[in-house]
């Protein structure tokens, strides 16, 4: 048995990436073992300070913050309604989508809440026909939240986010030899948050969450040679009528999370500082059988932490500067369980008993994230710019109990996101454009997989978790992600 790539595509992100962009929130910790180009599929709501690099620890975004922690809806003064069209494109034809989102939040004397919907049209990458179902698909998003003030200093809120998905960005690329892929499933994100004030003008938040991804991939091949073309006889294919085969794969991931945050002003200055601490526990009960490995994969588990500090300064002329640093250690264990007893070639020695692991992958990450942003807000105009840089570092220890072998691999890379926002402010409406450029990602492969790398490792994935054990040193074909978003906010 050869070593296998162990792949997990979990879209969460959940609203934020889970259903907000990853850079905008630390409540969900997303994983990568390769610099996969990620489209902003789940950027379906106004993200937190997107134009200022996604600053969130010590710098407020009243609307965006309330869509991450529902208890912060109490900070609103009255009602805000928004419309939010978004478009993104991954270069080299690797995917694009158009989204229209509408919603609103309201806060009263004691109670507060909000709701919203989004419709998304996603183009399939490299569509081979002009049939509508092969050209694009649709995703639908719905969220609902509410809560109340417990006292003058504390609020409690809950939030439900649901996504009905006809496609996840990048999945088509994970089955490069397929004729067509039909996807269907949902994502669910449930949150309960607390927001409060302290006597020293400080503010704290506590957020718990549960997120679930449940997707089905119906993969259609023209013939069995599509999966392992090296085993086919080309001459035979010229005289045989192509036959189709259907393979069904399940993708299931559960995430439990706890997030703590605190910030307060620095006395006698315009500075504010803050800190965060986040814990995520993930279970992966079912992972799709991608073409990179044609054996069943079994459950894995992930423990992820992040801790960060940030500071911001707002001067008297309404110029704001902010910066944040986050460290992110992650431990993940995945493996393959034997479906039957495995013997040596002579069938004299039992190598692995049924139910025991044939391959075990242990990942240890130490990721880091830096954000910085600068903005100015005048009476009728606002301008913002920012940079986010995230460095991924991990060590993979892979044990093959069948081959009685061990492999140690280290990888690292840095992903960059540049942001720019400009807006017009009127008494009854605010109009804001945000442009994002993501670099340092692309279509990854490995240096040791030969033709399989060319055919199978070119893909863009979602903004959620992407964890696999590469079978060699990583290689990359660069791709960029361009995102455009317009947010119209109407205070009532």
Average pLDDT over residues 282-291: 72
Whole-number pLDDT of residue 461 = 31
CB distance 9 to 249 below 8 Å: no
What pLDDT score was predicted for residue 76? 92
Instruction: Look up residue 213 and give its two tokens.
Output: 């991804």
Residue 348: other Cβ atoms inside 10 A: 7
Structure confidence at residue 217 (pLDDT): 86
pLDDT at 286: 73
pLDDT computed for residue 395 by the predictor: 93
Residue 3 lies in a domain: no
The pLDDT, as a whole number, for residue 250 is 82
- Read out DSSP for 21-32? -GGG-SSS---B
Residue 103 lies in a domain: yes
pLDDT-derived band at 248, boundaries 50, 70, 90: confident
Polymer length in residues for the chain = 492
* pLDDT of residue 329 exceeding 60: yes
Half-sphere exposure in the Cβ direction for 204 (13 Å, CA) = 9
Is 137 part of a structural domain of the chain?
yes
CA-based torsion, 282, 283, 288, 290: positive or negative: positive
* Res 1: pLDDT: 39
Q: What is the arithmetic mean of pLDDT over 360-376?
A: 95
DSSP strand pairing (430-446 vs 111-123):
unpaired
Q: Flag whether 78 is in a domain.
A: yes
Bigger pLDDT: 426 or 460? Answer: 426
The per-residue pLDDT for 21 is: 36
pLDDT for 177 equals 74
pLDDT number for residue 298: 54
CA distance 172 to 166: 12
Mean pLDDT, the chain, integer: 82
**What's the pLDDT tens digit per position in 51-79?**
999 999 999 999 999 999 999 999 998 99
Out of 55-64, 235-244, 436-445, the most confident range is: 55-64
What does the pLDDT read at residue 265? 95
In a domain, 389, yes or no: yes
Q: Does 2 fall in a domain? A: no
pLDDT of residue 483: 96
CB 275 within 8 A of CB 255: no
CATH number at residue 219: 2.40.160
Q: Check pLDDT > 50 for residue 456.
A: no
Distance CA 168, CA 412 (A): 26
Q: Establish if 186 belongs to a structural domain.
A: yes
Task: Work out the percent of the chain whose per-residue pLDDT is above 90.
Answer: 50
| pLDDT reported for residue 232 | 46
Q: Is the pLDDT of residue 463 over 50?
A: no
Q: How confident is the model at residue 131 (pLDDT cuts 50, 70, 90)?
A: low
Q: Which of 157-171, 294-308, 461-475 has the lowest mean pLDDT?
A: 461-475
pLDDT of 133: 64
Sequence-separated (6 or more) residues with CB below 8 Å from residue 158 = 70, 145, 146, 147, 190, 191, 192, 193
Q: What is the mean pLDDT of residues 17-33?
A: 56
pLDDT of residue 10: 28
Provide the residue range defining the domain that includes 79. Answer: 8-491
Residue 357 has pLDDT above 50, yes or no: yes
pLDDT at residue number 8: 31
pLDDT score recorded for residue 359: 86
Q: What angle do CA 467, 275, 303 make, to 5 degrees?
A: 25
Supply the pLDDT for residue 459.
27
Alpha-carbon torsion, ordered 13, 139, 187, 145, to 10 deg: 90
Better-scored residue on pLDDT, 418 or 183: 418
Instruction: For residue 455, give the H/E element and its range.
Output: helix 451-456
Average pLDDT of the segment spanning 145-155:
97
181-234 residue pLDDT tens: 888 999 999 999 999 999 888 999 999 999 998 988 888 887 654 445 444 444
399, part of any domain: yes
Q: How many domains does the chain have?
A: 1
């Amino acid at each position: 048995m050869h070593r296998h790539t162990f792949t997990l595509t979990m879209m969460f992100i959940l609203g934020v990436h889970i259903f907000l962009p990853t850079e905008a929130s630390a409540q969900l910790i997303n994983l990568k073992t390769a610099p996969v180009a990620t489209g902003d599929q789940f950027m379906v709501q106004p993200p937190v300070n997107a134009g200022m690099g996604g600053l969130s620890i010590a710098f407020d975004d009243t609307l965006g913050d309330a869509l991450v922690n529902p208890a912060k809806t109490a900070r609103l003064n009255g009602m805000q309604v928004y419309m939010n069209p978004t478009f993104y494109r991954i270069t080299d034809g690797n995917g694009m989508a158009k989204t229209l989102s509408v919603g609103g939040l309201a806060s009263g004397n004691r109670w507060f809440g909000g709701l919203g919907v989004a419709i998304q049209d996603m183009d399939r990458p490299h569509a081979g026909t002009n049939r509508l179902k092969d050209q694009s698909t649709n995703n639908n998003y719905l969220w609902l939240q509410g809560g109340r003030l417990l006292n003058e200093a504390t609020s409690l809120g809950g939030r439900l986010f649901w996504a009905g998905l006809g496609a996840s960005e990048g999945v088509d690329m994970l089955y490069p030899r397929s004729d067509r892929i039909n996807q269907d499933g949902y994502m669910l994100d449930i949150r309960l948050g607390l927001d409060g004030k302290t006597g020293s003008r400080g503010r704290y938040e506590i957020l718990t969450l549960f997120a679930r991804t449940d997707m089905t991939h119906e993969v259609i091949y023209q013939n069995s040679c599509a999966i392992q073309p090296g085993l086919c006889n080309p001459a035979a294919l010229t005289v045989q009528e192509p036959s189709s085969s259907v393979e069904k794969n399940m993708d299931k991931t559960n995430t439990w999370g706890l997030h703590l945050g605190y910030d307060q002003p620095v006395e006698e200055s315009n500075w504010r500082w803050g800190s965060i601490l986040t814990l995520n526990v993930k279970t992966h009960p079912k992972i799709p059988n991608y073409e990179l490995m044609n054996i069943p994969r079994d459950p894995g588990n992930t423990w992820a932490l992040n801790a960060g500090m940030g500071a911001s300064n707002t001067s008297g002329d309404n110029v704001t500067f902010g910066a944040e640093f986050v460290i992110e250690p992650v431990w993940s264990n995945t493996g393959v369980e034997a479906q039957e007893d495995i013997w040596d070639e002579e069938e004299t020695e039992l190598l692995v008993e049924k139910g025991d692991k044939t391959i075990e992958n242990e990942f240890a990450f130490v990721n880091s994230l830096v954000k910085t942003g600068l903005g100015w807000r005048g009476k009728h105009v606002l301008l913002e710019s920012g940079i986010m840089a995230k460095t991924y570092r991990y060590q993979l220890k892979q044990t093959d109990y069948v081959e009685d072998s061990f492999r140690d691999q280290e990888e690292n890379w840095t992903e960059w996101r540049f942001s720019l926002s400009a807006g017009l402010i009127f008494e009854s409406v605010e109009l804001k454009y945000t442009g994002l450029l993501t670099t340092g990602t692309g279509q990854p492969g490995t240096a040791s997989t030969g033709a399989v790398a060319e055919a199978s490792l070119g893909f863009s994935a979602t903004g959620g978790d992407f964890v696999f054990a590469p079978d060699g040193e990583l290689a990359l074909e660069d791709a960029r992600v361009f995102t455009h978003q317009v947010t119209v906010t109407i205070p009532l």
